[in-house]
Structure 1
Amino acid sequence: MIRQVLKTTEPRLRDKSKPVKKIDKKIKLLVRDLKNTLSAQSNPEGIGLAAPQIGKNLKVFIIKPAKDIKTIINPKIVEISAKKFSKKKKKEKIMEGCLSLPHFYGPLKRPPKIKIEYLDEDGNKKIDTFEGLEAQIIQHEIDHLEGVLFIDRLLEQKEKLYEYVDGEWEEVDLII
């Protein structure tokens, strides 16, 4: 089922999510709903979606940095790259957005490489390392599981928020 993506004004997005105790039919349906909902997004398209964004405060999210969708349940970051940002990346603005605040973006700096422990949708324990865009998406989605939005990170990093309108970036006031 395609679910409504909650907007940033929804208080439930600020709640911390609970761990999944077992992968049962309800969790499989939740994963299916996340996949269907993410696939249905077109303006803008999404590359990640967390369960809290569809009203379920469970530690589940999916990412789709390319063609295939990866399911991540009960993620735990076990290692973050010591070198936070390369010189090249420091100069480059990587605009991060969120389906809960469509058409708004901000340049966020996140560690470019992380290792996480998690369960896949079949309940198999995995430990994987992610770099670049995948690492950024995963950190964004883990923030959702902790009740943190990307606009909070923008404020922490003293960055600006932009709205993408008619092919142009327009700076907007960031008020939470």
Structure 2
Amino acid sequence: MIYPIVAYGNPILKKEAVEINEGEDIKGLIKDMFETMEKASGVGLAAPQINKGLRLFVVDSNLMIEEGSGEKGVRQAFINPIILDEYGEEYSFEEGCLSIPEIRAEIIRPEKLTIEYFDEDWNLHEEEFSGMTARVIQHEYDHLEGILFIDYLKGLKKRMVKGKLMEISKGKIATDYRMLYP
């Protein structure tokens, strides 16, 4: 099932997501989230973006990895994740979001992280990720905390996107995927 993507302005995007009961069967939801993400040409999707306030996101960072970079992408689900540490050199990269189409901005994040999470079979993992995969995870994790990438913008940059954000929240935008407007 392909879900509509929740657009900027919907209150669920600003709420902290709740933990999923351990052992709950959410494999169908995870499959649907991957399908929804792929239909929208995304590399990550958090449950709040499909109007479900759950601590769950999926990523497929393979599309972000440059050939020959030596970096390894992942395609997996993260259930009840906790970022334990973020470290390494901070760097800037232009980010976008399926919930905020047509707006992109340079966001500074640390290059590495350690995260604890359950996979779809409820196996507990603690892993380190770096580069583009870490960035996608950080972006999606922020969604679970009610943080959007535009929340990192300051001053003039924030004022410059304000009009476009209003258009998005009113549904005055065209996308190649279905959206759910506030």
Could you list the structure 1 runs, at least 4 aligned residues long, displaced by more than 6 angstroms after superposition: none
Per the alignment, do residues 21 and 9 of structure 1 end up closer, same or farther by CA in structure 2, a change over 3 Å counting? same
Query: Which residue of structure 1 aligns with residue 112 of structure 2?
Result: 113
The answer on whether the counterparts of 1:94 and 1:108 sit within 8 Å (CA) in structure 2 is yes
* Alignment map for 1:83-102 (pairs within 5 Å): 83-85=88-90, 89=91, 93-102=92-101
Confirm whether residue 80 of structure 1 aligns to residue 76 of structure 2: no
- Higher relative CO (Cα under 8 Å, sequence separation at least 6) belongs to 2
- The code of the aligned residue for 1:110 comes to R
Q: Report deviation, 1:15.
A: 1.1
Corresponding letter in the other structure for 2:114: K
Q: Distance in 1 between matches of 2:48 and 2:61?
A: 20
Which amino acid is 2:162 matched to?
L
Residue 78 of structure 1 and its aligned partner are, at CA, apart by 1.2
Distance 1:34 1:57 in 2: 13
SS in 2 for 1:58: coil
Aligned partner of 1:2 in structure 2 is 2
Are residues 1:62 and 2:61 paired? no
Match of 1:132 in 2: 131
**TM-score normalised by L of structure 2:** 0.78
Q: Percent of pairs identical after alignment? A: 38
Please give the alpha-carbon distance, in whole angstroms, between the structure 2 residues aligned to 1:23 and 1:4. Answer: 26
Contact kept, 8 Å, 2:117 with 2:126, in 1: the verdict is: yes
TM-score, length-normalised on structure 1? 0.80
Q: Count the aligned residue pairs.
A: 154
CA distance in 1, matches of 2:94, 2:23: 34
Q: Which blocks of at least 5 consecutive residues in structure 1 are unaligned?
A: 162-170
1:174 to 153, 162, 170: 162
- Distance in 1, matches of 2:15 and 2:118, equals 22
Q: Distance in 2 between matches of 1:72 and 1:58?
A: 11
Q: Shift of residue 159 of structure 1?
A: 7.3
In the alignment, the residues of structure 1 paired with residue 23 and residue 3 of structure 2 have an alpha-carbon distance, to the nearest angstrom, of 20
- Asked if the contact 1:96/1:107 (under 8 Å) is kept, the reply is yes
Alignment RMSD, CA only?
2.0
Q: Sort the Cα spacing of 1:23 and 1:40 in 2 relative to 1 into closer, same or farther, 3 A.
A: farther
Which whole-Å CA distance do the structure 2 matches of 1:47 and 1:10 have between them?
Answer: 21
SS of the residue corresponding to residue 66 of structure 1 reads helix
Task: Assess if the C-alpha contact under 8 Å between 1:23 and 1:121 holds in 2.
Answer: no
Change (3 A) 1:172 1:159: closer
CA distance in 2, matches of 1:97, 1:103: 8
Unaligned runs of 5+ in 2: 64-73, 166-182
Provide the rounded CA distance (Å) in 1 between the counterparts of 2:62 and 2:157. 27
In structure 2, C-alpha distance between the alignment counterparts of 1:23 and 1:99, rounded to whole Å: 29
Query: Is the contact made by 2:46 and 2:57 (CA closer than 8 Å) also made in structure 1?
Result: yes
Equivalent residue for 1:143?
142
